[in-house]
Amino acid sequence: MQLSERIKNIKPSATMKTLSLAKSLRASGVDVINMGIGEPDFQTPNSIQEAAIESIQNGKASFYTAASGLEPLKVAIKNHYQAAFNLEYEVENIAVTTGAKMALYATFQALLNPGDEVLLPNPYWVSYSEQIKLAGGVPILVPVPDSGKLAVDNFEQHLTAKTKLILLNSPQNPTGEIYHKDDLIKLGNWSVDHDLMIISDEIYGELVYNGNQFTSMGNLGSRIKENTVIINGVSKTYSMTGWRIGIVLGDPQLIKSITAFVSHATGNPATVSQYASVAAFTQGAKAAELMRQEFETRLNLIYPKLIEIPGFDLPVKPHGAFYLFPNIEGALKLTGLSSEAFVSGLLTDAHVAVVDGKAFGVPGHIRLSYALSVDQLEEAMKRIKSFVETNSKRSNIGGKLSNETN
């Protein structure tokens, strides 16, 4: 098989790999708690499902729509942005895509020339780097040691003549942190000054907890707004990962280019999902709020238990999304395990699936999703704690034995 150089350069998604490993263990009868997932565990709210069924029954779902989405869906998105974020976008600023993944993919295809560099705060979501590479771009990782704080200096150090874009994600996957408004304003102004566009992935923007505030890059004045492309979707807010609807908000010229691109790549996003999404944006607020509250309860329950696990360090309680990204270097030291062995031991011995921080650019961490029931979360924390304790004892005994034999 003569595969292209382009595809040889791409790593399969680590989160998808974890998901399939956990699923196959579960299929063989093992009671796996899957904290590797990146999706809400709720059924899509009824009113959204009903709108989809109606569009099938009245025959509307049978046909293609405009490649960039149905007009009524764009109007619903426009109205939602106005109500939820106090942001004005017109229909010509909006493209609807097959998931936020395609929203990002099409945006990179539309904006990047070969060799263009994209500044990407590290840790980062797994698909960004691969999507940038698929568009011929070069991901440049910008270390952000305190993941809640963006400093212009960090970016300045990586600025070259080839820098084209900055990619931001807040609330973040994998850390669950949100960026502060002041930091975003400074970085936004810096990027305008250097003629760099900002891609702001705001897919977790409505999953924010405990009174913390999310700031959209669209809300920082017209200078920054005009320089920003916002990515969003229905997957996380409305528990609609399977429906595959994403959104790009940006300059009409970019939207036209993205439309041309997707018209050849995917065609329109599934028509039935578009009708479902109209209902999400017009009637889904109450159900979305209940799900948000449930995530908040889970975060507040799991965080204190997680930081009790020996060798787990997470000084700041996350603010949004549904992930925890603790530093586990202490636990690796205690157990004498490598991070690969720790993650695979957690799955095979403790039956808890998590994702190695390496996949997000930061080894020595793991990502745990709390999109699980309270019972499962409590059980998972017990299992992880006992895994660390058991393996710590073993490695201590091993240490003693080897000392004695020496």
Ligand X SMILES: Cc1ncc(COP(=O)(O)O)c(C=O)c1O
38 binds ligand X, rule: CB under 6 A: yes
Site residues (CB under 6 A) for ligand X, limited to 223-242: 233, 235, 241
CB of 201 closer than 8 Å to CB of 165: no
CB of 243 to ligand X, least distance (A): 9
The binder of ligand X chosen from 52, 96, 100, 380 (CB under 6 A)? 100
| Inter-CA distances, 89 with 86, 221, 272, Å | 10, 13, 24
101 binds ligand X, rule: CB under 6 A: yes
| Span interacting with ligand X, options 44-52, 99-107, 135-143, 328-336, rule CB under 6 A | 99-107
Q: Which residue shows structure tokens 């590290």?
A: 122
SS3 139: strand
CB of 217 to ligand X, least distance (A): 14
Give the residue at shortest CB distance from ligand X. Answer: 99
Q: Which residue shows structure tokens 């098989």?
A: 1
107 binds ligand X, rule: CB under 6 A: no
CA-based nearest residue to 179, from 143, 211, 216: 216
CB of 211 to ligand X, least distance (A): 23
Which x/- pattern over 197-216 shows residues binding ligand X (rule: CB under 6 A)? ----x-x-------------
In degrees, rounded to 5, the angle at the alpha carbon of residue 261 between the alpha carbons of residues 204 and 271 is: 65
Q: How many angstroms separate the CA atoms of 180 and 17, rounded?
A: 33
121 binds ligand X, rule: CB under 6 A: no
CB of 78 to ligand X, least distance (A): 19
The binder of ligand X chosen from 40, 45, 99, 357 (CB under 6 A)? 99
Contacts of 211 (CB under 8 A, 6+ apart): none
CB of 405 to ligand X, least distance (A): 49
Site residues (CB under 6 A) for ligand X, limited to 169-198: 169, 173
133 binds ligand X, rule: CB under 6 A: no
Strands of 117-122's sheet in order across: 94-97, 246-249, 228-233, 197-201, 163-169, 117-122, 138-143
CB of 327 closer than 8 Å to CB of 347: no
Helix (H) / strand (E) element for 232: namely strand 228-233
| Binding residues with ligand X: total (CB under 6 A) | 13
108 binds ligand X, rule: CB under 6 A: no
Contacts of 35 (CB under 8 A, 6+ apart): 352, 353, 354, 368, 369, 370, 372, 380
| Span interacting with ligand X, options 50-58, 95-103, 148-156, 191-199, rule CB under 6 A | 95-103
CB of 361 to ligand X, least distance (A): 13
246 binds ligand X, rule: CB under 6 A: yes
With b meaning 16 or more CB within 10 Å and e meaning fewer, what string describes 260-289? ebbeeebebbbbbbbbbbbbbbbebbebbe
| Span interacting with ligand X, options 50-58, 60-68, 97-105, 278-286, rule CB under 6 A | 97-105
**Which residues of this protein are in contact with ligand X, per CB under 6 A?**
38, 99-101, 125, 169, 173, 201, 203, 233, 235, 241, 246
